[in-house]
Amino acid sequence: MNMLVEIVASLLLVAGGIFAFIGSLGMAHLKDFYMRLHGPTKATTLGIGCMLMASMLYFWHRHGVPDIQEMLITLFLFITAPVSAHLLAKTGLHMQLQRADKTRGEPLELRQEEVGDKPVPHPEKGHG
């Protein structure tokens, strides 16, 4: 294998591992739900993306054709991670989850009808 391809793939794997580790630490050590969203959605997505790019590069060089499966996994990951993080954040705002004192800002984007009651009533039991 070409030495340059090995070096680039190795750097991508190391960078991916570092990003994934930092994302895991962020999820474990940050104080509230909103801060914890950043770990898996940003750093871990970059980490897995780097690892997938290293794998694509390795097998492309080895077999001579790009691997479509890894490209599709990367595309799916980069499309779904921000959407799922957004939905989780909106759900947290709707449920009025507590924020840590260090979390800055106020969720002004919610309209009054988007804010739920605490606790959210079960649909089968009614509101009473």
Rounded Cα distance, 59 and 71, in Å: 12
Contact 85, 37 (CB under 8 A): yes
Compare 30 and 6 and report the one with higher pLDDT: 6
Q: Which of 11, 88, 77, 89 is nearest to 45 (CA)?
A: 77
Percentage of the chain with pLDDT > 70? 78
Q: What is the pLDDT of residue 106?
A: 62
